[in-house]
Every structure is written in C-alpha cells, then in structure tokens.
C-alpha cells in the first residue's frame, strides 16, 4: 500500500444493475463502505444503526432461533446477527444479485454462518410465506438508492410481517428531506400499529409492537 492509499480510500465503481445505480465501494484500511446512488447501504454506519436497533428493542434474555432479513446489501446486518446470536438461522432476501456478489467480495459474507440467501422481491417472498412460517425477528432494510418502494410501506405488508414474527424492526431515513416522507409513513401506520422508535443521526428504526 502506498502512502497515498494510507490516507485516501480505494474507490471501486461498478456498472448499474437492474435495480441499483451509481454503485461504489470505498475501501480504507480495514473499513469498507458500500454506497448506492449516494446512500450508504453497508459499512460501519449501517452496523451502528442496526446495533442501536438490537440494543433498543431486543431483550437481553431473548435468543432468536430464526431471523429474516429483508434487504441484504453488503450483509452488515447478517454479520451483526451472527455476532449477537451465533446460533440463529438467518434467511436473507435480496432482490439484486449484484449486491450479493459485492457482499461476498468485499464484506466477507461467506464467513457468515447459518445463512440462506434468497434472490427475490421482498413483497413476493412475504406474500408466499406459509401460515406456519414463523420468525423471531424480521429486519426490514429495503432501499433502492435513497428510496423505499411504496409497496414496502403499506399497512398490509407490515401486518403480514407481524403475523409471521415476534419482533419487526424497520429502518427508515431521518435526515433532510427524508424526514417528511418518513413522518408521512408513520402517520399512515399509526391508526393500525403501535410502534416505538430509536433514532440515530441519519436514520430511525421502528419496532412494531
């Protein structure tokens, strides 16, 4: 490594996929960050966000056996589950196979134990769950760049998640113009769900109760 690379990160650009554009991976020393269309989707920032969610909403005595991740990106959420709950079986649903490739190449996803990765649309996957399919935790992190598909913000979608899981944790943006859109979603959900919130500087995670 040159002295230049010691102070400045490597920057890898990747072609647009069917679902994502402006895909960049930054690698600096032992830190790796995935950005898609200007939004951080994996790296230390996302690890901090999901760590805050787990510490805020999951009781210390609770040890999940089955965890569903909707949205994988670089797999930081999967690694965090592995660290907190090493015996938990993880099902990760990711619509973009390019994200899985990058997760394996840059984020050591292959080292995550007990994980089954499914390339699928999150809504389609949830709609086809059997009545007996149950999870202890569902973590929803479904971004396409800086946006979340409208179909993944509906009352029906969240109710289906509640029907299949004890804890449902949902990540939303909470900075600049995104606050208004997220607040609108919360107002839409509030007549149907009681939820509690945990904030970071840029995001808010809610837990459906």
Distance separating the N- and C-terminal Cα atoms of the chain: 49
Residue 145's pLDDT is what? 81
Tens-digit pLDDT profile for residues 165-207: 999 999 999 987 889 999 999 999 999 999 999 999 899 999 9
Above 50 in pLDDT, residue 3?
no
Residue 97 is encoded by which pair of tokens?
């196979």
Secondary structure of the chain: what % helix, strand, coil (to 5)? 35, 30, 35
pTM of the model: 0.92
**Averaged confidence pLDDT in the chain:** 92
The CATH number of 44-208 is which of 3.30.1360.120, 3.40.50.150, 3.40.50.970, 3.10.20.30?
Answer: 3.40.50.150
Return d(Cα 132, Cα 46) in angstroms, integer. Answer: 31
What's the CA gap between 21 and 77, in Å, rounded? Answer: 21
Q: Are 87 and 65 in contact (CB under 8 A)?
A: yes
Q: What is the per-residue pLDDT across 102-142, written as a single tens digit (0 to 9) for each?
A: 999 999 999 999 999 999 999 999 999 998 999 999 999 99
Query: Per-domain residue ranges for the chain?
Result: 44-208
pLDDT confidence tier of residue 1, bands split at 50, 70 and 90:
very low
Determine the Cα angle at 38 with ends 32 and 44, to 5°: 30
């Amino acid at each position: 490594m040159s002295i230049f690379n010691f102070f400045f990160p490597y920057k890898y650009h990747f072609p647009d996929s069917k679902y994502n554009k402006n895909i960049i991976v930054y690698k600096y020393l032992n830190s790796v960050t995935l950005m898609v269309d200007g939004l951080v989707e994996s790296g230390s920032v996302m690890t901090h966000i999901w760590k805050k969610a787990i510490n805020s909403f999951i009781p210390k005595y609770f040890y999940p056996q089955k965890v569903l991740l909707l949205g994988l990106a670089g797999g930081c959420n999967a690694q965090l589950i592995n660290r907190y709950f090493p015996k938990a079986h993880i099902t990760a649903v990711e619509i973009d196979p390019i994200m899985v490739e990058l997760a394996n190449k840059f984020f050591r996803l292959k080292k995550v134990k007990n994980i089954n990765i499914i390339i699928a649309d999150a809504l389609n996957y949830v709609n086809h769950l059997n009545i007996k399919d149950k999870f202890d935790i569902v973590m929803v992190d479904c971004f396409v760049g800086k946006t979340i598909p409208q179909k993944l913000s509906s009352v029906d979608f969240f109710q289906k998640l509640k029907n299949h899981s004890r804890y449902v944790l949902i990540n939303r943006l909470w900075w600049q113009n995104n606050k208004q859109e997220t607040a609108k979603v919360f107002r839409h959900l509030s007549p149907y769900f009681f939820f509690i919130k945990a904030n970071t500087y840029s995001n808010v995670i809610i837990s459906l109760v």
